[in-house]
């Protein structure tokens, strides 16, 4: 008579082999789909990107040069330089998707536009933080609100703005920030929402 343990072991091996085969099949299909998309992307013709939703930096509303002795000069110069370049928020969009939509020959240009966005949102947060530290609250809020409007995914952009809203007795606006965070296409979305809810509670 075959021991029960041996039967169980044989059944386990059979199930393991079946599951392994299923997983291998799924992985093979995923890899096949990936390379098909990549091949299609690399074959996509160049599209017109003239009228994309490029970000315009409203430097005329920023306090550029208003506080010459507070150490913002370098940040302000960088913002002015960026304002003359093309910027796009492409957060969460893969290179393959960009090539499929706009053509492989546009990838380098689009990547540069996205890198400028990353630089921009960091500069905005640093600029606003410095302004807030020197009690220029309204200026800081204006800059941070612009960051939110272009869907910055820098957590501090939201938490700093929420703190300034509290300082001004405008706590209700934090709920609007949470809604803005909900629409982000970024891995930091959940962290931002969590921190905002903690501030609001």
User: Six-digit token pair at 123?
Assistant: 């500069």
In whole angstroms, give the CA distance from residue 132 to residue 13.
64
Contact present, 158 and 196 (Cβ < 8 Å):
yes
CATH of the domain at 175: 1.25.40
The per-residue pLDDT for range 85-121, each reduced to its tens digit, is 999 999 999 999 999 999 999 999 999 999 999 999 9
Q: Which of 10-19, 65-74, 132-141 has the lowest mean pLDDT?
A: 10-19
Q: Are residues 54 and 113 in the same domain?
A: yes
Q: Is the pLDDT of residue 1 over 70?
A: no
The per-residue pLDDT for range 19-34, each reduced to its tens digit, is 777 766 666 666 666 5
The domain tally of the chain equals 2
In whole angstroms, give the CA distance from residue 37 to residue 20.
26
Nearest-5° Cα angle at 195, 155 to 111:
20
The rounded mean pLDDT for the chain is 90
Q: Are residues 128 and 78 in the same domain?
A: yes
Q: Are residues 191 and 133 in the same domain?
A: yes
Global pTM reads 0.81
Over range 32-40, report the average pLDDT. 63
Q: Are residues 2 and 59 in the same domain?
A: no
The per-residue pLDDT for range 150-175, each reduced to its tens digit, is 999 999 999 999 999 999 999 999 99
Q: Which of 27, 43, 59 is the last residue of a domain?
A: 43
Q: Are residues 84 and 117 in the same domain?
A: yes
Domain assignment of residue 176, given as a range: 47-200
Over range 29-44, report the average pLDDT. 65
């Amino acid at each position: 008579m075959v021991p029960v343990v041996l039967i169980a072991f044989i059944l386990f091996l059979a199930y393991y082999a079946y599951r392994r085969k299923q997983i291998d099949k799924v992985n093979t299909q995923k890899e096949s789909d990936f390379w098909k998309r990549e091949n299609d992307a690399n074959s996509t013709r160049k599209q017109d990107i003239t009228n994309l939703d490029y970000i315009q930096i409203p430097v005329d509303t920023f306090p550029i040069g208003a506080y010459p002795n507070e150490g913002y000069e370098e940040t302000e110069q960088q913002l002015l330089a960026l304002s003359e370049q093309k910027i796009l928020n492409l957060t969460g969009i893969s290179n393959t998707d960009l090539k499929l939509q706009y053509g492989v020959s546009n990838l380098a240009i689009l990547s540069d536009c996205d890198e400028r966005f990353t630089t921009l949102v960091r500069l905005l947060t640093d600029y606003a933080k410095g302004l807030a530290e020197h009690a220029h609250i309204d200026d800081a809020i204006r800059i941070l609100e612009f960051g939110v409007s272009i869907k910055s995914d820098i957590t501090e952009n939201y938490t700093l703005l929420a703190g300034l809203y509290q300082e001004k007795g405008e706590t209700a606006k934090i709920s609007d920030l949470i809604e803005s965070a909900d629409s982000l296409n970024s891995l930091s979305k959940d962290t931002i929402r969590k921190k905002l809810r903690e501030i609001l509670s």
